[in-house]
Chains A and B, each alone.
Chain A
Amino acid sequence: DTGVSQDPRHKITKRGQNVTFRCDPISEHNRLYWYRQTLGQGPEFLTYFQNEAQLEKSRLLSDRFSAERPKGSFSTLEIQRTEQGDSAMYLCASSSLGDPPGELFFGEGSRLTVL
């Protein structure tokens, strides 16, 4: 399968714990995005990388959240000291520099439940 893959697909954690999600984009894609989707809502933009550079961060990305893409390939999203309000689906998407605007390829998401 050559699509966007995310791991883990589901994570249940206790409040206060740290969690990390991984995203492997389509191999030739140099742009990578993280979105968050809460129940019954549309996805909300969190952050965007072009190669290894993090070019944009949403105000939704509090200081407990950190995203990296160290070698311009896979990316990680870490949430420290999780809160119940962090429970959501975390979606990763990728695209290529030459792709038409907004045409993103999404993974199946990582669902986080904070107890």
Chain B
Amino acid sequence: AQKVTQAQTEISVVEKEDVTLDCVYETRDTTYYLFWYKQPPSGELVFLIRRNSFDEQNEISGRYSWNFQKSTSSFNFTITASQVVDSAVYFCALVAGGTSYGKLTFGQGTILTVHP
């Protein structure tokens, strides 16, 4: 069975601050994929990034960066210079090789509020 834990229920920051969202996962599979999704107030989840278990290279996309560390089973997400539009619920998710690739296991989510 897979499990994803996002220990931070809510985070509140002021605009332009950097913020890191933590994600810890559990799986016995050696092949798996990790994801971050964003859920704005409108409700639809928006895909942000996918990493596979064989690629620990960190990734940066604009103000977003992701730190994948297999040794600690973590896949953390950092927003640099946060903006009000970043306010949303962020979910970390996992899918293991061998199962349906649409059967994601999501964490509980972290509510991020960015104040002006």
Chain A residues with a Cβ under 8 A of chain B: 3-4, 31, 33, 40-45, 48, 55-56, 89, 91, 93, 95, 100-109
Contacts and interface: CB of A to CB of B under 8 A. Distances in A.
Contacts of B116: none
B108 interface: yes
25 contacts: A33-B102, A33-B103, A40-B9, A42-B4, A42-B91, A42-B107, A42-B108, A42-B109, A43-B45, A43-B106, A45-B105, A48-B102, A55-B100, A91-B43, A91-B45, A95-B102, A100-B50, A101-B50, A101-B95, A101-B101, A102-B50, A103-B35, A103-B50, A104-B45, A109-B44
- From A42, A48, A103, name the one whose CB has the most chain B CB atoms within 10 angstroms: A42
Interface of B: 4, 9, 33, 35, 42-47, 50, 91, 93, 95, 100-109
B108 A45 contact: no
A44 B105 CA distance: 7
A100 B50 CA distance: 9
A107 B4 CA distance: 23
A75 B9 CA distance: 33
B112 to A, nearest CB: 15
A56 B99 CA distance: 10
Given A45-B103, A48-B100, A102 B33 contact: yes
Contact of A104 (B9, B42, B43, B47): B47
B42 A102 contact: no
B44 A106 contact: yes
Contact of B109 (A3, A4, A41, A102): A41
Contacts of B43: 89, 91, 108-109
Contacts of B101: 101-102
